[in-house]
Structure 1
């Protein structure tokens, strides 16, 4: 993620929070899944829905998030696990899949505004955001995930992937080549739709970000002159 995109994202978040507070609306709650505290090679399952992972570890946080059966937790070998990776953004845990083309995450309460994650990959992948459960309904946003510059045959280079979208989503599909891509720090804005700052689907994201930054710059310039 380049510096311009990162700055635009934080400016947009600040503007959204101000608008929601002024309107008395319910703000979304930012939830980040770090995959710490799960068992090595266990199915994630209902761990983030207040339940247990596939090895009986838990209960985990009651975030209302469920994973399909092919989502597996992986612990780095440095912590006694099976994973040949290092440098994960939140510690020694990560998410991957061993078969098929991907895994699905359901959020019953819905999430809005944007979805982000960190990933490390020997082979590229993608994620897709849908307004229905189980990867159904309308595609709201997606992001392609390129191969990361790993060294020494180990997944150790982590890159952030972000997609902004309008409306309320209920599922994310993570795709890629089995056993060749890891995910960590999945972040959701749960519980409030983004109805305050419309983003026309026909405009590229860079145009929207530039407009937000331009408005912030104009306000700063007026403040300096006063």
Structure 2
């Protein structure tokens, strides 16, 4: 199996983009992409080639056994100390969001655990390198992941903590933080059968979304509000 050295000043965001491109190329049946997957993936399955499979392929192309090893190698060559925490906070956050729609409570337990622990790890790194806004966003991600994989009580706990941080430290928040917090809390309340409270939070999230100044931020919020699971609240 041939390998390629990592380029100087390798960027994990660029490597992640390459993995996304590889997944799409395999899905489209491109021969070059399929050949790369067959050569470097230990259990290649064209019919179920996920983003994690693509990431593993990219890592093995560079002579590393796993995507986490690749992440660590790139990070330690670039940054140290507090910046290392910031780096991993960003990368783990992005990776968890990338995988969120691929994994749910029907996925293998190991995949569910990796998704949840990735969200916790991102939050931990932001506790070291960020502020209360970063902490709140970490709590939001944990809540969304927990709800996605059926850990309802965990999701409710972190959704409430997210909103608490936002209400306590408003001066550090962006205008889109509270609608995101209300969205997560609405989902969690719906999942626990508290339908009236959930509808109230969802309505608050929608109203606050309309007040967000940035068009791009409003679009992201609208897209998230349209995604399941809503546990029957929006059906």
Normalization by structure 2: what TM-score? Answer: 0.28
Normalization by structure 1: what TM-score? Answer: 0.29
Structure with greater helix share of residues: 2
Higher relative contact order (CA 8 A, sep 6+): 1
